Amino acid sequence: MRPAAAFIIISSFWENYICITDMLKAKDGDFFVTDWLRNRNTMEFLGVWERVYNPNFNYGEFATIRNQSGLNSFKISVNS
């Protein structure tokens, strides 16, 4: 049996948010996070989210990352 996972819950204006990284680490550790980030659909979702919520979003850098996502040679990591 797997131990209970610890999640950080942030409340803002009566809405609760959890950290996606915490959620994914609880599933299968850092490997799952890295594998999830390599997925082309994940990168597309993150790009849309950034366009909507980040006024300083770097479109050019993201295009380079997005074009490589999904390839076997594509590697990305999460730094906390």
* pLDDT(5) > 60: no
With beta carbons less than 8 A apart as the criterion, state whether 19 and 7 touch: yes
Task: Specify if 69 maps to a domain.
Answer: yes
Residue 1: the pLDDT is: 45
Distance CA 80, CA 45 (A): 20
User: Domain span at residue 64?
Assistant: 29-73
pTM: 0.59
Task: Specify if 56 maps to a domain.
Answer: yes
Task: Specify if 80 maps to a domain.
Answer: no
Number of domains in the chain: 1
Task: Specify if 7 maps to a domain.
Answer: no
Task: Specify if 52 maps to a domain.
Answer: yes
∠ CA 36-30-49, rounded to 5°: 40
The two structure tokens encoding residue 72? 């076997």
67: closest CA among 27, 40, 35, 48? 40
Mean pLDDT of 47-63: 91
Task: Specify if 45 maps to a domain.
Answer: yes
Task: Specify if 1 maps to a domain.
Answer: no
| Helix ranges restricted to H, the chain | 20-28, 30-38, 40-53, 59-68
Task: Specify if 53 maps to a domain.
Answer: yes
Q: Which residue has the higher pLDDT, 28 or 39?
A: 39
